[in-house]
Chains A and B, each alone.
Chain A
Amino acid sequence: MVGIFIIGILMLVGAVSVVVVRQPVHSALALIGVTIGLAMIYLILQAEFLAVAQVIVYAGAIMVLFLFVVTLLTAGKEEMEAEDTLSGQRWAGIITGLVVGLGLAVVIATHSPVKLSTALSGSFGGLHDLGHQLWGPYFAMLAGVALMLLTGVIGVLVLNRPDQVNYKSRLDLPSGVSLVDAEQEGKK
Chain B
Amino acid sequence: MRYLIPEVVVAGGALLALLAIVLVPKAKSLGSWIVLLALLAAGIDAATMWHVTASLFMSNTLAIDQYSILVTELVLLAGVSSLLLAWDADRFGDEFPVLLALSVLGMMALGAAANLMVIFIGIELLSLPLYILAASSRTQAGGEAALKYLLLGAFSSGILLFGMALLYGATSTLSFVAYPSITSANTWLLWPGLALVLVGISFKLAIVPFHMWVPDVYEGSPTPVTNLMAFGTKVGAAVILLRLLAFGFYTQDGSWGTLIGYLAVLTMIVGNLLALPQMSLKRLLGYSGIGHAGFLLVGIATHSVEGAEAMMFYLLPYGLAVMAVFGVLRLIEGNGDEVTVGDLKGMAYRRPWLAAVLIVGMLSFAGIPLTGGFVGKFFLLQAALFASQPGLAVGIVVGTLVGLFAYLRPLQTMFQRTEPSEKVQKVRWTVASVVVLTVAVVGTIGLGVYPEPFVHIVSHSADFYWLTGG
Verify if A158 is at the interface (C-beta below 8 Å from B).
Answer: yes
Verify if A137 is at the interface (C-beta below 8 Å from B).
Answer: yes
Do B184 and A114 touch across chains, with their CB atoms under 8 A apart? yes
Verify if B375 is at the interface (C-beta below 8 Å from A).
Answer: no
Q: Tell whether A114 pairs with B171 under 8 Å between CB atoms, given A148-B124, A166-B90.
A: yes
Residues on A with beta carbons closer than 8 Å to the beta carbon of B61 = 137-138, 140-141
| Nearest A residue (CB) for B169 | A113
Q: Mark B43-74, 1 if CB is under 8 A from A, else 0.
A: 00000000000000011011000000000000
Q: Which of A150-188 contact B (CB under 8 A)?
A: 150-152, 154-155, 157-159, 161, 163, 166-171, 175
- Most chain B Cβ neighbours within 10 Å, of A148, A158, A167: A158
The 7 A-B pairs with the shortest beta carbon distances in the complex, nearest first, are A113-B169, A137-B59, A111-B188, A155-B132, A144-B121, A151-B128, A167-B138
Do A147 and B125 touch across chains, with their CB atoms under 8 A apart? yes
Partner of A169, one of B139, B169, B189: B139
Q: Tell whether A111 pairs with B121 under 8 Å between CB atoms, given A137-B58, A158-B93.
A: no
Q: Could you tell me the distance between the alpha carbons of A170 and B334 in the complex, rounded to whole angstroms?
A: 12
| Nearest B residue (CB) for A144 | B121
Residues on B with beta carbons closer than 8 Å to the beta carbon of A157 = 95
Q: Could you tell me the distance between the alpha carbons of A45 and B61 in the complex, rounded to whole angstroms?
A: 23
B179 to chain A, nearest CB (A): 12
Instruction: Show 11 A/B contacts (Cβ-Cβ < 8 Å), sorted by A.
Output: A107-B188, A108-B169, A114-B184, A114-B186, A144-B106, A147-B11, A155-B128, A158-B93, A163-B138, A167-B138, A171-B140
Residues on A with beta carbons closer than 8 Å to the beta carbon of B14 = 147
| Nearest B residue (CB) for A173 | B335
Residues on B with beta carbons closer than 8 Å to the beta carbon of A169 = 138-140
Verify if A134 is at the interface (C-beta below 8 Å from B).
Answer: no
Q: Which of B116-132 contact A (CB under 8 A)?
A: 117-118, 121-122, 124-125, 128-129, 131-132
Q: Which of B156-199 contact A (CB under 8 A)?
A: 166, 168-173, 184-186, 188-189, 192
Chain B residues packing against A (C-beta within 8 Å):
4, 11, 14, 18, 58-59, 61-62, 90-91, 93, 95, 98-99, 102, 105-106, 109, 117-118, 121-122, 124-125, 128-129, 131-132, 135-136, 138-140, 166, 168-173, 184-186, 188-189, 192, 335-337
User: Chain A contact residues: over half helix, strand or loop, or mixed?
Assistant: helix
B145 to chain A, nearest CB (A): 13
Verify if A143 is at the interface (C-beta below 8 Å from B).
Answer: yes
Q: Tell whether A139 pairs with B58 under 8 Å between CB atoms, given A114-B171, A169-B139, A175-B337.
A: yes
Do A140 and B62 touch across chains, with their CB atoms under 8 A apart? yes
| Nearest A residue (CB) for B186 | A114
Q: Could you tell me the distance between the alpha carbons of A103 and B337 in the complex, rounded to whole angstroms?
A: 48
Q: Tell whether A117 pairs with B125 under 8 Å between CB atoms, given A111-B189, A147-B105.
A: no
| Nearest A residue (CB) for B334 | A175
Q: Could you tell me the distance between the alpha carbons of A20 and B337 in the complex, rounded to whole angstroms?
A: 40
Q: Could you tell me the distance between the alpha carbons of A154 and B21 in the complex, rounded to whole angstroms?
A: 12
Q: Could you tell me the distance between the alpha carbons of A155 and B127 in the complex, rounded to whole angstroms?
A: 12
| Nearest A residue (CB) for B187 | A111
Q: Could you tell me the distance between the alpha carbons of A113 and B95 in the complex, rounded to whole angstroms?
A: 45
Verify if A115 is at the interface (C-beta below 8 Å from B).
Answer: yes
Residues on B with beta carbons closer than 8 Å to the beta carbon of A115 = 172
Residues on A with beta carbons closer than 8 Å to the beta carbon of B102 = 147, 150-151
Do B98 and A154 touch across chains, with their CB atoms under 8 A apart? yes
Verify if A145 is at the interface (C-beta below 8 Å from B).
Answer: yes
Do A148 and B125 touch across chains, with their CB atoms under 8 A apart? yes
Q: Could you tell me the distance between the alpha carbons of A103 and B4 in the complex, rounded to whole angstroms?
A: 42
